[in-house]
Structure 1
Amino acid sequence: MDNLVKYYDHNEFSFISMEKLEELEDEYYIQYSTFEDCYINKDTSAYGYCDNDLLTNDTIESENYIYCEDTEDYQPENYTVYLTDTDEYVSRDYDFQKCDECGDYFSSDYDMHYRDGNYYCDACWEDMEPVIYDYHKYEDGYYPRSLARESPLFMGFELEVDNVRGDCESLAASVLDGDMDGTLHCEEDCTVAFEFISQPCTLEYHKNQHYNDWFFSELDGKCQSHDAGTCGLHVHVNKSFFDDHGYNRLKTILFFFKEELFQFSRRQRWDYGYSDFNERIDKKDVTIQKAKNSKHYGHSTWFNENNSSTYEFRFFRGTLKYETFMASLELVHNICMVAMSSTDVITWDSLLDGDYCREYSNSRDIYCDNELNLSTLEEEDREYMKALEKSLKENVFINRNYVSIGEIVDDTIVFYCLYNDGDELKLRKQNYIDLSDLSENLEDHGYYRLCSRKELSNLLGGAF
């Protein structure tokens, strides 16, 4: 036995003399395996390698060695990983990923889905609740967030993103994973990829969220907003913050500074289908009546009043720059606060307080020397209402061949038409015009002055 060596031939082990082995080496390709401590006839037997050493087929099968694509040799089964996406085995040294739901492994090239610190394969992801809600299907409710106890101005934003690189749900989930306070959620929007929507928060609460650290930093390079050309930044404010006087001032401020707001918005046109600025009004022509009675409702307008509990500033173009985003929130906040203040004279510069607003306005070369004197406009508005009330009290109008008179009842003009009932002249309610919908002239509503009431009475022989 001293001269015998272990020999693997035709997938079987045997012992032969060294002299016999040397004879066989003249005819066959025989190689020694340190791992097996035997000679393997590679021409007659199945074999493999493990870490550059030969393995016999017998060892591969009996001791569960598996061929790995990354090492291009066999490895012990407990040192291998099966990749579901490529249907092959790799060693544990390979760069692979694991689904935290089903436990399957995937190659590094596989696009895993991410949410709340975990990674998911496609199959498991499809079984999960979506991160992005359908349009207006968010049902968890809105809860005002403030750092104080007062009931102040609350602002909620909608930031649209488009041209997402990769999976939208994964991007949304990766952002929301950093949202420690549950301030944001996501919804689909047919015009863009999706949008981030915030809870109603005070300006200070928004600033305290440090959005640049986890929101905008996570979006960077993974989607577009401003550059997409399709996205907007919409800011909602609570209607309950305003009384009637404050609302009138708000609308007047918006119309007086419409040109500057357009420049601030980064919009390229006045007539976008989803942010129409309406007509241009010269500052000298702005009145409280014109401003407060200009109501273009819905998603097509720059200032949407159609929501049940919020006013929506829709004129900002989308942005992924934190400074631009915060400047936009500051501007809306400042406009609303000034509207509810007792300040009489308002300048564009007076609307730019904050950490970002003035610097951003200056960077876009937005300047305005005109002053909005609200006390003067309010006095003109009072004079207008006195003149309107006097005109209605003294005059008779014609509308669609009907002779009519009008009076102001609360916030409404009520028109009555005159008709004969036998020999008696009577009045019948004909129409209503809400003062908030009243344009500057009654003629715009179809009522033209016919004569004075005194003249009509004289014509009728005092019957009127």
Structure 2
Amino acid sequence: MVSGETPPSGGNNQPMEAIMECHICQATEELTTYGEIHLCPDCRDEHLKQCSDCGEYFIDNENDYVIDWEGDIYCESCRENLSFCERCEEYSDCNDFVHIVDLDEYWCDSCAESHAYHCDSCGDWTSENHGDSDTTLCRGCFESDYYTCDDCGELVHSSDAMSDDDGTYCRSCYESNHSNDIHNYGYEPCLNFQCADDENDEKPLPYLGFELEAGGVSISERNDIAETISDGEETFYLKEDGSIPDYGFELVSHPITLKRHKELDWEIILKEMSTSGMKSHDLGESGCGLHVHVSRNYLTSYKWLLIDWFISKYQDKFEIIARRKETHWARFKKSNGLPVKDVYGKSNGTRYQAVNFENRNTVEFRLFRGTLNFSTFMATLEVVDALVHWARQLSISDILASKDAFRNFTDYLRSNSLYENAVNYLNDKELI
């Protein structure tokens, strides 16, 4: 229309209606009206939306609408009545949401039913089940009211749990499997150092503490044996040890001098274990061990190096004494061309050595096979005690002069009446 012209009039002098255009593409043909919106067929199919709640029509790029998990469309006004699921990231009716307590999130019913758990104790929803297949628990209820049995691993309510210093158990496991006399592997009591009356003035003393592994019986038999031999932990205590075949325990002595060991009832204790069906030597070369600890401060570093070197140099003879070949539990050291001081008598990062220097206060002799034979057991203690006493009074020049260090050691054994069992044992093995 040219400026200043009067618009043409329709019939009866009425103004002509304005020409309608598509709301989006401005087309003028085949328009359909939706409220105040006029659309051609193509724009209608692509851009027209109808709110499933209020029924109003709107253009998708002019309205901040949402589509819920069922495919229903909600306009900008009606979407305020919906909630957003933080798991599936879909919108749903506000009444269909639950609070996931451990995540502090709100999930739709569908996600909660499929991926969350309803605590049987408090009724809260949680993303993880801290109970078992029969009992659903949130973390809070599990930690406050439940335990996992340290024997069978089953869930047990605090009202049915049995506890002691070593753990917590269901009633059945505690009554059938557990012994108050057998502690867990990590048990460390206050040590009771003991010596004979005539040793009180000698300082320092070479205290010997042993770990004797034995097994091969049922749980109930093991518990009965433990109860029978227990002395209230005056001279020894018992521990679990997962490396022992079948069921058994590790008998651990307090630090006691050899003279005092000879005054104690080890023969009676070992006989009781043996006659009750327990085995040690007979469970195989790597089945059970007899480890002997010696006070580290009894010898200088140089003398410990000397012992370590001596045992490795005469590995063939010490394998006979130990009643077993080298095992992965007790490796003999090899110099492999390195200086002696760089190999022997020192920590090397693993305790699985014939002579172990990983402990702060003791040196551990791990090469010996377990035994319940009293004379063999006592011979083992005597050999270790003789080694440290022999090394204490020995010099490298003594070894060089003798030209046979092992013969020098066995001569020392035979010169001391305290080592009668060791001398007889080495005689039987044709090592003397």
Scaled by the length of structure 2, the TM-score of the pair is 0.50
- Partners in 2 of 1:165 and 1:280 — Cα distance? 44
Identity %: 25
- Letter aligned with residue 430 of structure 2: D
| Cα pair 1:165 1:222 within 8 Å, conserved | no
| Cα pair 1:155 1:200 within 8 Å, conserved | yes
Q: Does 1:302 align with 2:357?
A: no
Which residue in 1 is equivalent to 2:271?
216
Which residue in 1 is equivalent to 2:365?
313
| Cα pair 1:146 1:204 within 8 Å, conserved | yes
| Cα pair 1:297 1:305 within 8 Å, conserved | no
The residue matched to 1:334 in structure 2 has which SS? helix
- Partners in 1 of 2:310 and 2:427 — Cα distance? 20
How far did residue 293 of structure 1 move? Answer: 6.1
- Partners in 1 of 2:239 and 2:388 — Cα distance? 27
- Partners in 2 of 1:163 and 1:128 — Cα distance? 17
* 2:206 counterpart (149, 153, 170): 153
* 2:257 counterpart (184, 202, 206): 202
Which residue in 1 is equivalent to 2:297?
240
Cα RMSD between the aligned structures? 2.9
Which residue in 1 is equivalent to 2:391?
339
- Letter aligned with residue 216 of structure 1: K
Residues 199 and 241 of structure 1: is their aligned pair in 2 closer, same or farther, counting only changes over 3 Å?
same
Which residue in 1 is equivalent to 2:381?
329
Which residue in 2 is equivalent to 1:171?
225
- After superposition, residues 28-67 of structure 1 pair within 5 angstroms as none
Unaligned 5+ runs, structure 2: 1-170, 400-404
Q: Write the deviation string for residues 144-198 of structure 1: whole angstroms up to 9, x where unpaired.
A: 110121331000000000212552222111111xx38710100001111321000
- Letter aligned with residue 173 of structure 1: E
Which residue in 1 is equivalent to 2:424?
359
| Cα pair 1:330 1:356 within 8 Å, conserved | yes
- Partners in 1 of 2:312 and 2:254 — Cα distance? 28
- Partners in 1 of 2:352 and 2:392 — Cα distance? 26
| Cα pair 2:296 2:362 within 8 Å, conserved | yes
- Partners in 1 of 2:317 and 2:224 — Cα distance? 38
Q: Write the deviation string for residues 61-110 of structure 1: whole angstroms up to 9, x where unpaired.
A: xxxxxxxxxxxxxxxxxxxxxxxxxxxxxxxxxxxxxxxxxxxxxxxxxx
Which residue in 2 is equivalent to 1:383?
none
| Cα pair 2:305 2:346 within 8 Å, conserved | no
| Cα pair 2:309 2:345 within 8 Å, conserved | no
Structure with greater helix share of residues: 2
Residues 287 and 190 of structure 1: is their aligned pair in 2 closer, same or farther, counting only changes over 3 Å?
same
* 1:263 counterpart (313, 320, 324): 320
- Partners in 1 of 2:413 and 2:339 — Cα distance? 23
| Cα pair 1:256 1:286 within 8 Å, conserved | no
Q: Write the deviation string for residues 276-326 of structure 1: whole angstroms up to 9, x where unpaired.
A: 224498xxx997436536754434221111112111000000001000000
The residue matched to 1:204 in structure 2 has which SS? helix
How far did residue 253 of structure 1 move? Answer: 2.4
- Partners in 1 of 2:351 and 2:391 — Cα distance? 23
| Cα pair 1:160 1:196 within 8 Å, conserved | yes
How far did residue 339 of structure 1 move? Answer: 1.2
Residues 333 and 181 of structure 1: is their aligned pair in 2 closer, same or farther, counting only changes over 3 Å?
same
Q: Write the deviation string for residues 233-257 of structure 1: whole angstroms up to 9, x where unpaired.
A: 0000111111233223222322333
- Partners in 1 of 2:292 and 2:420 — Cα distance? 18
Unaligned 5+ runs, structure 1: 1-120, 368-464
- After superposition, residues 392-411 of structure 1 pair within 5 angstroms as none
The residue matched to 1:163 in structure 2 has which SS? strand
| Cα pair 1:158 1:233 within 8 Å, conserved | yes
- Partners in 1 of 2:366 and 2:178 — Cα distance? 33
How far did residue 122 of structure 1 move? Answer: 8.1
Which residue in 2 is equivalent to 1:15?
none
- Partners in 1 of 2:318 and 2:243 — Cα distance? 24
Structure with greater strand share of residues: 1
- After superposition, residues 264-283 of structure 1 pair within 5 angstroms as 264-267=321-324, 269-270=325-326, 272-279=327-334
The residue matched to 1:276 in structure 2 has which SS? coil
Figure out how many residues of one structure are paired with residues of the other and give that number: 239
Q: Which stretch has the larger CA shift, 253-262 or 232-241?
A: 253-262
Q: Write the deviation string for residues 33-52 of structure 1: whole angstroms up to 9, x where unpaired.
A: xxxxxxxxxxxxxxxxxxxx
Scaled by the length of structure 1, the TM-score of the pair is 0.47
Q: Does 1:349 align with 2:406?
A: no
Residues 221 and 245 of structure 1: is their aligned pair in 2 closer, same or farther, counting only changes over 3 Å?
same
| Cα pair 2:281 2:371 within 8 Å, conserved | yes
How far did residue 335 of structure 1 move? Answer: 0.5
Residues 292 and 128 of structure 1: is their aligned pair in 2 closer, same or farther, counting only changes over 3 Å?
closer
- Letter aligned with residue 427 of structure 2: N
- Letter aligned with residue 212 of structure 2: L
| Cα pair 1:164 1:222 within 8 Å, conserved | yes
- Partners in 1 of 2:173 and 2:347 — Cα distance? 49
The residue matched to 1:314 in structure 2 has which SS? strand
- Partners in 1 of 2:253 and 2:342 — Cα distance? 33
| Cα pair 2:208 2:292 within 8 Å, conserved | yes
